[in-house]
Chains A and B, each alone.
Chain A
Amino acid sequence: MADTVQTLITLAARRFKADAALLRPEDDLFERLGIDSFQAVELISDLEGEFDIELPDYELQGVKTFAALAQKIDKRR
């Protein structure tokens, strides 16, 4: 889980040009990255490649924090 969330933060920071060191697992990813749900699905595509999983769009519904998203990823690994 710790690895997953850290990889997720690194990928998110890279895609949306944020400083990974300033992002915490419990942060609201939309707020901290300044993105909307439409941009978030682009991140999902990166995650699928990185973790070699398929993450349906509906998994994003209700997800707010990096930690919650990492949990969804771990469930599918």
Chain B
Amino acid sequence: MLDLGKIPGLGAALRDATISFKSRDALIEADRHRETGRLTYAELRAAADRFAGALQAHGFEPGDRCAVLMQNQSKWIVGATGALWAGATLVPLDYKLTAPEQAALVAHCKPRVLFTEWPAWEKLALEPQGPFERVLVIVSEAPADARLGRALRYEDLPQRPATYHERAREDIACIVYSSGTGGTPKGCMLTHANYLAQAEVLGRMYPMKEGERYFSVLPTNHAIDFMCGFLIPLMMGATVVHQRTLRPAYLGATMQRYGVTHMALVPTILKTLERKIREKLDDLPKWQRLLIDGLIDVNEFATRREPNHRLSSKLLRPIHDQFGGKLKFMFCGGAFVERDCAEFFNRIGLPVAIGYGLTEAGTVLTVNDLKPFRGDSVGKPVPGVELELRDENDAGVGEVWVRGPTVMRGYLDEPELTREAIVDGWLRTGDLGVLDAAGHLKLVGRAKNMIVTEGGKNVYPEDIEAAFAGLDDCEEYAVFASNYLWPTGKLGAGNEELLIVVRPKPGAGEAQVAALVEALKLRNRRLADYKRLSGHVLWEREFPRTASQKIKREPLARELRARADRNAVRGL
């Protein structure tokens, strides 16, 4: 691991890495069963230098913004590294958003450069081009006959000498959007110091060795993969593996082929893997199943204090071989992890380090150190992070506030939002938690309005509501998570479904209401997958509102709870 305490910025850290580990593999890219690319650290350096030189040839200056919009692949890392060397502030954009949402974020962050790939640009090029007028667009993998207009083809970028620009620790390294779009895009400004502090702590807790391999499955624009699947592996001389097709059939094969040692997942993927393993175990003849169950018990006992990969992978080889046999552990965060699921993986010797974090504070604020494994908490605060519960109730449940070296500078162009979020250096998370005697944090609730889907996406009701504005015969409406309206009794239970409560205009007839529902369906289809509503509730009573006419969500939710149940929900 590089000595990050002495390094001024991310660019310098990555530059040192490309020199220190030059002959080692930095990046491997596969598409289905084919290997489509492999770069050593020295080759990564050359490719990133070329990108930096191309930006500078077009007048790119230190402090300019470079947005990156692509699925996980080597070019993401190459482009981001080159941009950092040219002194850029990176803006990782979510490729899963719709084109209008992506265009809105580009309009908000005003990058000098947008580095993207053809499937994304093909859609963005159909959007109004206002936000892109002053942006240098660089597109990778465009077909030979593609009409690129002003955009440059990545593969044709000329080789120009690059000038490396050092940044200071307090400069902004990245602007990361913590939610979709809609009313107020929230661009978290994170400094080089924020990232280096987080990388140093996580690198100590979960060191990677040269030659170890991280499988980058979560979107690299997501805070977890940006840290665990880009910065940390490269700073430690490990290899990042990308698979262009994230289907279960190819995930296993890729892990086997490349001997993946580390990966980060969100709970949905973890649950799918659990289901697959359980299905295979259930298919075993009874005697084999008994044998495996016995070995699982032995493993659980032997690793009760801390993981022992060598032992677990020998004891439970048939299971570990499905993951390539070298997987040491997995990180999971971004949404609530079911305790049973995490414990299942620990029992089979593939422990899951469960953490809790916010984009506003780097990657993780708390994480389990696996010594011993615990599936019932999100761990203790990482070194350097102070955590307080404020306004605790009788049960010790309070709102989580944190302070530390990873807390962002603020939201881009939103001083008021920043003042609300950061008070006297303390970040208000909006999440409710309780600390146990061992200092482990257990989350018991969420911010009032924010919904975390099972896929780990933050969804804001106000954001989705903006998509339904101006419908005929609609008096008012509000979006909720169904588990918030009618709690199932435990967090993360079942799918977190979104629904819209709609009050038609008084006097609207049956035909108008039917037309309104059809209009809802149409608008719903235009939303990004993870924001789509699964149902609607028709409501006749007037919504409670504040003096400034904002909907009072909690009183409305109470009314819904009191007067209706899940049977009132109709599909969309």
- Tell me the A residues contacting B by CB distance below 8 Å: 31, 36-38, 41-42, 44-45, 54, 56-58, 61-62, 64
Contact = CB atoms under 8 A, between A and B. Distances in A.
A56 B32 CA distance: 10
Contacts of B119: 56, 58
A44 B247 CA distance: 9
A41 B529 CA distance: 14
B268 interface: yes
A64 B268 CA distance: 20
B289 interface: no
A44 B539 CA distance: 39
A61 B529 contact: yes
Contact of A57 (B245, B249, B455): B245
Nearest to B247: A41
B71 A42 contact: no
A41 to B, nearest CB: 5
Nearest to A28: B525
Contacts of A37: 529
Contacts of B71: 57-58
A47 B249 CA distance: 14
B269 interface: yes
Contacts of A54: 32
Given A31-B571, A38-B268, A62-B98, A57 B529 contact: no
Contact of A56 (B244, B455, B571): B244
22 contacts: A36-B268, A36-B495, A38-B268, A41-B246, A41-B247, A41-B248, A42-B249, A44-B247, A45-B247, A45-B249, A54-B32, A56-B245, A57-B245, A57-B246, A57-B247, A58-B71, A58-B95, A58-B119, A61-B96, A61-B529, A62-B98, A62-B529
Interface in B483-517: 495
Contacts of A45: 247, 249
Contacts of B120: 58
A76 B249 CA distance: 21
Interface size range of chain B in the complex: 20 to 34
Interface string B459-496: 00000000000000000000000000000000000010
A50 B71 CA distance: 26
Interface in B259-300: 268-269, 272
Contacts of B272: 38
A54 B245 CA distance: 10
Q: Which 3 A-B pairs have CB atoms at the shortest separation, nearest pair first?
A: A41-B247, A58-B119, A37-B529
A58 B117 CA distance: 11
Contacts of A58: 71, 95, 119-120
Given A31-B571, A36-B495, A58-B119, A42 B32 contact: no
A56 to B, nearest CB: 7
The listed residue with most A CB atoms (<10 A of its CB), out of B96, B247, B272, is: B247
The listed residue with most A CB atoms (<10 A of its CB), out of B120, B245, B525, is: B245
A55 B183 CA distance: 35
Nearest to A65: B525
A38 B87 CA distance: 38
A4 B525 CA distance: 23
Contact of A42 (B98, B248, B455): B248
A42 B249 CA distance: 8
Contact of A64 (B248, B525, B571): B525
Nearest to B119: A58
A41 B217 CA distance: 15
Contacts of B525: 64
Interface string B229-261: 000000000000000111111000000000000
A64 B120 CA distance: 18
Contacts of B248: 41-42
B550 to A, nearest CB: 32
Contacts of A64: 525
Contacts of B268: 36, 38
B420 to A, nearest CB: 33
A57 B245 CA distance: 6
A45 B253 CA distance: 14
A42 B95 CA distance: 21
A49 to B, nearest CB: 10
A63 B455 CA distance: 18
Interface in B83-134: 95-96, 98, 119-120
Contacts of B495: 36
Nearest to B530: A37
Nearest to B245: A57
Given A42-B248, A57-B244, 9 more contacts: A31-B571, A37-B529, A38-B455, A41-B246, A54-B32, A57-B245, A57-B246, A57-B247, A58-B95
A36 B246 CA distance: 15
